Structure 1
């Protein structure tokens, strides 16, 4: 959970800092003209609140509740998808949950009120009446038929008896003293499948664990089919599965990744020694398996290791030619300290750096990551999203070190974000990550789930700032000869010139590289008019952004540095002034179409 504590005045700022100090992953967001020292500053309060809400950020406003209400009223939708929004007066006289009460707001309200020693103004009817809510079960519990929530809760609030039946779980939730022995409606806590009816709210507790094994390269879907068949044969609901486990040497098997994704359940990997410790509890210990893996049972051992000391096998190892499956049950499964996750690596593009050009996917990835890797400038540009998280930075030219570090952390079972500016697949680190995986061919690295999160690239941002210069065929060329041979770059420049492409130059010039941009100008002057527009865009999306348009004849490479993108139009690109605005655009042929 990422938390934004919003302050609009200096007195609110002091309270906001105190609140952020009590909570993990919290940063103070302040109105720029009054609170320039806030962790994150903004100019438009209403827009900033709406942006945070859209990004699923938890909001605590140290301000009047009406400000938050007016900001969010136009964008409210399904209450089951609302992130928490809280209001705290400057004097800390109360903590008020406004939205997302059963999505964490009520719990956060009570936690924060305890830290501030003030009133938790929870108003949710079920919480006030019973002290709990059926649609806010503990982590890992699943409501099979949430549409039954409304009639069951209404009956309880009306004082009507509702029956509670507990077939699975440790009876710690929901509180039995709030229910009756009989009633028109029933709340059923079970791990069995197909128990729903028009009078029963079915809740599945996390009591089942699945252990699996497979041959190297087994087909992805076959293991999933075998597990689902095993659950069906036992009459068990997949929603009561707490986790799936296997031995760590199988961490790169597509069959296991497919299974975990299909069931939407955590996947845990165990060292052989951990599984070997379960040998006394195995129903089918195997010396053959021990010789291959270092433990006497992968499927049964994994299921039992996940279930814990109180767990027991309810389905001993089942085999087909390529897979093994076992199922265990425990009173309640706690995954704390059990195995390691597969590990995820998000290669994230944050765009040029301003809030408006971040994608929702990039925001979600940065919030989901446990640790962050990147060049320090890029980390600073997303500081509001990664506050409180461990970070690993390196110098600008140490791209391989950053990519390796990110892969190493992810291979240890962590969720890692590797931050890039612009788009990670355009002159950035996405290709390096995959190249390193390819070159090393290591099982641990191969098992990492890599997601490339696209961002707005500099050429897109520059084009949007000035009009539509890339609305026809275009290309991008990097002028850095540190990784690409100089003669290759010159060959591409000549080809792009002959092809009459609009060209965006990345890495155009540095302190050491001073000649290629001038050579590019000379080559292009042989293929397009001297009046061709050249766009010089520096520090796009940042406070000192500059946009300048000159002709190809007047273009001076000496005014360009590594923070600049240079875009040179093709022979048809136009530069005009209309309505006091400079516009650069490249026609696509609509004029001729309209004439016809």
Structure 2
């Protein structure tokens, strides 16, 4: 069984919370998901069906404390590939029943037994092989892979029909299984890295015991394509060549591709896109090690530098730039060299979980370290118990950015948290500024990505209608990082151009007079009846929304948590059931 993600324990009401918390103690970093407004838990969701489908689509194990039929109907539209489905279980709210529904090849019955034992009840397992043998031989543990699921099903069918088997190779997880064994059995369960030869009397399980090291001889050198949404064609071609050479080397030595545990490269090539793409093609982790290229940067030297376990080095004169290390046991990729560090800059949106983009939530879930202004880090929660949180004061942007690169360059997966959109008066620019000023090659090798968020201006505009429906600009009235004279100049130009203006950082205790000064400038160019939208804490529980005219607006109506949108000469307000504000897409 592959290493399982922490499950999502999903409840509908308060009556299931006690049982959910008991189940939660079984799985480190698991969280209880509760229907918003009914009960407080770790994660709130708005609707059950889309939430379960989202979890299922992301491969998250699901423990749903509700009727099995509800769960089945929710995820039914996504059912297609039995080999790729995550574990899905239904558990009675009072803990009186545990029913594994999906994910037989992903360990659902193992989970069912664990949960049932904790609740002191028998699990409702219906899988024939599990009931007869006490284990699923088609679901090997982490570090092992089944050679062929089709052959595996036929093999188990033969066992259920009365055949016996023998076990060849290291398979300690089968020691306690109630398999019908015989040393002279026709059938055999073979644990081997060697490729399956297609015999129908064998169930072949491959230990992931091979590490493939590659050097520039196997890498078609291509420059890193910074900030591209997709891998370039040249990188994909180079990656395909690397993967082909690794597979060719495995085949030359009679090894199964499923026996590959990791792809290993030199730290000097950490930012090489082709290596990451090749690892993805081979479906293995990518690891790196330091190697003195001036002395020897051969594949064998990479293996010597990275591996601390007994292994046999396998070379193939026909495959340049690749060497294989074959270990007698399965290899944990986490013990090989180090991973490429990752730094993801995300925006939380305006504060509501529903307005956070899924990519930001995914980055938070996968992070080892989370940095940001303490208030924003708290908004990002709930977080897993094992994650490191580095909260700082809101005025320490550059120190925070440098700290993020230090953590990521050590191989950690780091998330930098901003509110709204990280690229709008937020941390994305600070992170890039820190990288631009650095000459540290380790920082340059970090996998940097920026995930957009819903900005305060966009969230406020959506609540009001469409005041940003035509040309607009965003201006910060804070003079902490730019002179007030520049702010005045930009205000005057924007007002003259008849742009809708969204004001960030409009006022604070340290800047009590500047908003009035800014409004005086705007009033030189805009009529008193110009529509103004005031959105305070939009996306948060205490949100308020008001629309006034420019003539009515007073600085006392605004604080630091207010988004101020000043309309253009064409911005309109009307009431049809509710009050709406919009700026037409045309000019008269």
TM-score computed with the length of structure 2 as normaliser: 0.82
Deviation at 1:104, TM superposition (A): 4.0
Between the aligned partners of 1:160 and 1:335, the Cα distance in structure 2 is 39
Stretch of structure 1 that moved more, 48-57 or 198-207 = 198-207
Between the aligned partners of 1:518 and 1:359, the Cα distance in structure 2 is 35
Quick check: 1:191–1:207 contact (8 Å CA) kept in 2? Answer: no
Between the aligned partners of 1:480 and 1:162, the Cα distance in structure 2 is 78
Of 248, 252, 263 in structure 1, the residue corresponding to residue 282 of structure 2 is 263
Deviation at 1:24, TM superposition (A): 0.9
Which position in structure 1 is the counterpart of 2:123? 120
Which position in structure 2 is the counterpart of 1:547? 545
Quick check: 2:186–2:201 contact (8 Å CA) kept in 1? Answer: no
Between the aligned partners of 1:153 and 1:133, the Cα distance in structure 2 is 12
Quick check: 1:7–1:61 contact (8 Å CA) kept in 2? Answer: yes
Stretch of structure 1 that moved more, 75-84 or 507-516 = 75-84
Which position in structure 1 is the counterpart of 2:232? none
Once the two structures are superposed, the pairs formed by residues 245-394 of structure 1 within 5 Å of their partners are 245-254=264-273, 256-271=275-290, 292=294, 299-304=299-304, 309-315=309-315, 324-331=321-328, 332-394=330-392
Which position in structure 2 is the counterpart of 1:86? 89
Which position in structure 2 is the counterpart of 1:481? 479
Once the two structures are superposed, the pairs formed by residues 467-506 of structure 1 within 5 Å of their partners are 467-506=465-504
Which position in structure 2 is the counterpart of 1:514? 512
> Quick one: structure 1 residues 11 and 573, their matched pair in 2 at CA, closer, same or farther if it must change by over 3 Å?
closer
Quick check: 2:130–2:136 contact (8 Å CA) kept in 1? Answer: yes
Of 554, 559, 562 in structure 2, the residue corresponding to residue 561 of structure 1 is 559
Which position in structure 2 is the counterpart of 1:229? 245
Residues 153-195 of structure 1 deviation map (CA, whole Å, 9 limit, x = unaligned) = 78447638699998xx856688996799768x999965549x7
Quick check: 1:25–1:389 contact (8 Å CA) kept in 2? Answer: no
Deviation at 1:251, TM superposition (A): 3.4
Deviation at 1:111, TM superposition (A): 3.0
Q: Is there any run of 5+ residues in structure 1 with no aligned partner, and where?
A: 273-288
Deviation at 1:353, TM superposition (A): 2.1
> Quick one: structure 1 residues 244 and 554, their matched pair in 2 at CA, closer, same or farther if it must change by over 3 Å?
same
Of 14, 19, 22 in structure 1, the residue corresponding to residue 23 of structure 2 is 19
> Quick one: structure 1 residues 476 and 72, their matched pair in 2 at CA, closer, same or farther if it must change by over 3 Å?
same
Quick check: 2:250–2:257 contact (8 Å CA) kept in 1? Answer: no
Deviation at 1:396, TM superposition (A): 1.9
Of 139, 149, 155 in structure 2, the residue corresponding to residue 136 of structure 1 is 139
Quick check: 2:191–2:207 contact (8 Å CA) kept in 1? Answer: no
Deviation at 1:550, TM superposition (A): 0.8
Residues 256-310 of structure 1 deviation map (CA, whole Å, 9 limit, x = unaligned) = 44543443432223355xxxxxxxxxxxxxxxx57x36xx555213335656533
Stretch of structure 1 that moved more, 172-181 or 371-380 = 172-181
Between the aligned partners of 1:458 and 1:360, the Cα distance in structure 2 is 18
Name the SS for the 2:425 alignment partner.
Answer: coil
Once the two structures are superposed, the pairs formed by residues 18-97 of structure 1 within 5 Å of their partners are 18-30=22-34, 35-36=39-40, 38-41=41-44, 49=52, 52-53=55-56, 56-69=59-72, 71-72=74-75, 78-97=81-100
May I ask how many residue pairs the two structures share in their alignment? Answer: 562
Residues 14-57 of structure 1 deviation map (CA, whole Å, 9 limit, x = unaligned) = 33223323321123344566644x33456766665556556654
Name the SS for the 1:465 alignment partner.
Answer: helix
Which position in structure 1 is the counterpart of 2:227? none
> Quick one: structure 1 residues 267 and 419, their matched pair in 2 at CA, closer, same or farther if it must change by over 3 Å?
same
> Quick one: structure 1 residues 501 and 76, their matched pair in 2 at CA, closer, same or farther if it must change by over 3 Å?
farther
1:108 aligns with 2:127: no
Which position in structure 2 is the counterpart of 1:586? 583
Quick check: 1:243–1:306 contact (8 Å CA) kept in 2? Answer: no
> Quick one: structure 1 residues 134 and 254, their matched pair in 2 at CA, closer, same or farther if it must change by over 3 Å?
same
Residues 373-403 of structure 1 deviation map (CA, whole Å, 9 limit, x = unaligned) = 2222222223235455221111222222332
Q: Is there any run of 5+ residues in structure 2 with no aligned partner, and where?
A: 224-234
> Quick one: structure 1 residues 439 and 47, their matched pair in 2 at CA, closer, same or farther if it must change by over 3 Å?
same
Stretch of structure 1 that moved more, 327-336 or 6-15 = 6-15
Name the SS for the 1:340 alignment partner.
Answer: coil
Residues 200-244 of structure 1 deviation map (CA, whole Å, 9 limit, x = unaligned) = 998654232122334999436457625633532552665432112
Quick check: 2:155–2:203 contact (8 Å CA) kept in 1? Answer: no
Quick check: 1:247–1:298 contact (8 Å CA) kept in 2? Answer: no
> Quick one: structure 1 residues 569 and 369, their matched pair in 2 at CA, closer, same or farther if it must change by over 3 Å?
same
Which position in structure 2 is the counterpart of 1:285? none
> Quick one: structure 1 residues 134 and 549, their matched pair in 2 at CA, closer, same or farther if it must change by over 3 Å?
farther
Between the aligned partners of 1:81 and 1:560, the Cα distance in structure 2 is 52
Which position in structure 2 is the counterpart of 1:425? 423
Name the SS for the 1:562 alignment partner.
Answer: coil
Between the aligned partners of 1:406 and 1:543, the Cα distance in structure 2 is 31
Name the SS for the 1:512 alignment partner.
Answer: coil
Quick check: 2:249–2:319 contact (8 Å CA) kept in 1? Answer: no
Name the SS for the 2:448 alignment partner.
Answer: strand
Quick check: 1:6–1:62 contact (8 Å CA) kept in 2? Answer: yes
Deviation at 1:412, TM superposition (A): 1.4
Which position in structure 2 is the counterpart of 1:286? none
> Quick one: structure 1 residues 313 and 76, their matched pair in 2 at CA, closer, same or farther if it must change by over 3 Å?
closer
Quick check: 2:345–2:416 contact (8 Å CA) kept in 1? Answer: yes
Deviation at 1:539, TM superposition (A): 0.8
